[in-house]
Structure 1
């Protein structure tokens, strides 16, 4: 049996940090009020072959949605630490499909991971890798255009929640 072909390419990403003067819980509440949980009913529609209905449902959803969360602060309890830190998966299925139709590997970065944590002064901090640079590694003008739009929407939502 032949060995698999393995290749690797170094990638440069721009890491963004947004520090808020507001406390963690206030920023968390603002983000979750502005960016709703994704309505996953489109998944069942696609599974049933109802592509048009799924597309219609997706068009009616918010420009950005929360696909899921992980409470990393809670996880740190196993190391004896107390921190507030929530990782969000934020994106839009239509936006993802606009990129993956051109470069399937762009699915690696959709949805975008965003970390909301609390610094030592009690202030909220967002961190994420800028979509334009994450998706830029694929060198595709169509993916780059969509990533640029996503970049703006994500930054706008996070700044608004921080203000």
Structure 2
């Protein structure tokens, strides 16, 4: 490792929880309606150099989409537990590009990871790390402006899904 250099530093991250009184399945279904799965055709267009067309399609799409999801609750079967918990990657490629063009390392956090989980007592909630606090570590004004809008958009989406 003679040629490898690394550094570390601590950052402060704000963690958000949005609780719902609705059943898990209802919150999950509403989220899927409000934030549809990303159209993977966008990446095909970009791969073939159709960036103008991809931009038009992104501008016409939902502000936030689901890039992927994992049934995190299923992993608890290893420990003999049964819980409902879905981990989502939620974002917008256009929003991500508005940040990574100024700070490529912002790609580490785009899309945003969101957890929808059901507590042992049946309570349901979303959890995520506030984008402005995560992206704020880069100290870039252009990134911060986009991250603050992402904060508002993500909070509005999750509150709408929770109600």
Fold in common (TM above 0.5): yes
Q: What's the TM-score, normalizing by structure 2?
A: 0.97
CA deviations 1:6-52 (Å, max 9, x no partner) are 10110110000111111111111111111100001011111111111
Matching of residue 145 in structure 1 with residue 151 in structure 2: no
**Within 5 A, what are the aligned runs for 1:68-87?**
68-87=68-87
Structure 1 runs not aligned, ≥5 long:
none
Residue range with higher mean Cα deviation, 47-56 or 8-17? 47-56
CA RMSD between the two structures: 1.0
Partners of 1:2 and 1:85 lie apart in 2 by: 42
Q: Return the offset for 1:65.
A: 0.1
Quote the offset at 1:53 in angstroms.
1.1
User: Which residue of structure 2 aligns with residue 29 of structure 1?
Assistant: 29
84-93 or 39-48: which moved more? 39-48
Which residue pairs with 2:96 in the alignment? Answer: 96
Distance 2:41 2:70 in 1: 22
Structure 2 partner of 1:20: 20
Report the alpha carbon displacement of residue 122 of structure 1 after superposing the two structures with TM: 1.2
Q: Aligned with 2:152: secondary structure? A: helix
Residue 131 of structure 1 aligns with which residue? 131
State the aligned residue count: 163
Match of 1:8 in 2: 8
Q: Report what 2:110 is aligned to.
A: 110
1: CA distance between counterparts of 2:80 and 2:9?
37
Structure 1 segments (4+ residues) deviating >4 Å: none
Tell me, which stretches of 5 or more residues in structure 2 are unaligned?
Answer: none
In 1: Cα distance, 2:24 partner to 2:50 partner: 41
Alpha-carbon offset, residue 59 of structure 1: 1.2
1:123 Cα deviation after fit:
2.1
For 2:49, the equivalent position in structure 1 comes to: 49
Shift of 1:3: 2.8
